[in-house]
Amino acid sequence: MKRIIAAAFGAGALFGTGLALSGMTDARRVLDFLDVTGDFDPTLAFVLGGAVITTLLLFRPVLRRGRPLFADAFRLPDLRHIDARLLAGAALFGIGWGLAGYCPGPALVGVGVGSMEAAWFVPAMVAGIVLHRLSRRG
C-alpha cells in the first residue's frame, strides 16, 4: 500500500510540476487560449498536444504489460456509448473551464503556488463535487 501511495504522490508531483512549468496554473493563459478573436495565447495547444502525443505513444505499450506496476489490474472504463449524462457533464465542465479558466488539476496546483483565483475556485469545485454526490444518492 505504501508503494501505491508513493507512486500516486510521485505521479501527482510530476503532473503538478508540469502544469506549473507550462504556466497552466494561470487562468488567464487558459482564457486567452479560448479568446480566439482577442489576445489569443496558443500555449495550451502545445501542452494538450504534448499530452496527446505521449498518450498515443505509450498507452498501448503500457496496457500490453498485463497489469500496472503497483496494482493488481488495470481499471479502465467499460462504457462504450455516449449518453446524456456524459454530454451534460462534458458541457458543464467546458462551461466552468471557460468561465473560470481552471479545471481541477491546475486549480489544485494553483492553490499550491499561491494563486488567489485558485483559492476561490477550489472550494467552489469541492462544493460542486459534494452536491453531485449528494444528488446521486437520492
pLDDT digits (tens, 9 = 90+) for 67-113: 888 888 888 888 889 999 889 989 988 998 888 999 899 999 989 88
Contact 101, 120 (CB under 8 A): no
The per-residue pLDDT of the chain, averaged, comes to 90
Q: Please state, in angstroms and rounded to a whole number, the distance separating the CA atoms of residues 33 and 19.
A: 15
Cell 481541477 sits on residue: 104
Q: Please state, in angstroms and rounded to a whole number, the distance separating the CA atoms of residues 22 and 28.
A: 13
pLDDT at 72: 86
Task: Give the pTM.
Answer: 0.75
